[in-house]
């Protein structure tokens, strides 16, 4: 049996960390929701539904629940009549912002490359 070296242990840890991050941010809506909350601050469910075009209430609810479980957003029940629920990014979620910005920059550059290639 081959002994795992420190270098391969580090590589395994990095791969697992990448898998965790990809799972955390995967899907069509999570990054869009995080970005919307970053740009607008605290938002109600209805506001998110209007802002994120194409998402259904059922999927929005599921995505918000997963983001909350992963400590990226805080859900607050407001004692209004009728009761409203609002969502805010956690401090932990702000660590995803450089990743989101990097993806946006890559997307912009990629679009230019594709357009130039097609012309």
Residues 6+ apart with CB under 8 A from 76: 42, 85, 86, 87, 88
Mean pLDDT over the full length of the chain: 91
Alpha carbon distance 36, 39 (integer Å):
5
Q: What is the pLDDT of residues 5-42, one digit of tens each?
A: 667 888 889 899 999 998 989 889 999 999 999 999 99
User: pLDDT for 33-45, tens place per residue?
Assistant: 999 999 999 999 9
User: Which residue(s) pair with 77 in the sheet?
Assistant: 85
Q: Who has greater pLDDT, 7 or 56? A: 56
pTM for this predicted structure:
0.81
DSSP state of 55: -
């Amino acid at each position: 049996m081959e002994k795992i070296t420190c270098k391969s242990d580090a590589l395994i840890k990095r791969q697992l960390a990448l898998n965790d991050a990809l799972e955390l941010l995967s899907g069509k809506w999570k990054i869009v929701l995080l970005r919307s909350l970053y740009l607008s601050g605290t938002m109600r469910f209805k506001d998110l539904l209007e802002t994120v075009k194409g998402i259904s209430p059922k999927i929005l609810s599921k995505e918000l629940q997963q983001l909350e479980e992963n400590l990226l957003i805080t859900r607050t029940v407001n004692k209004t009549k009728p009761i409203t629920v609002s969502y805010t990014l956690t401090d932990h979620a702000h660590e995803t912002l450089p990743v989101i910005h990097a993806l946006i920059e890559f997307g912009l550059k990629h679009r230019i490359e594709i357009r130039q290639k097609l012309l």
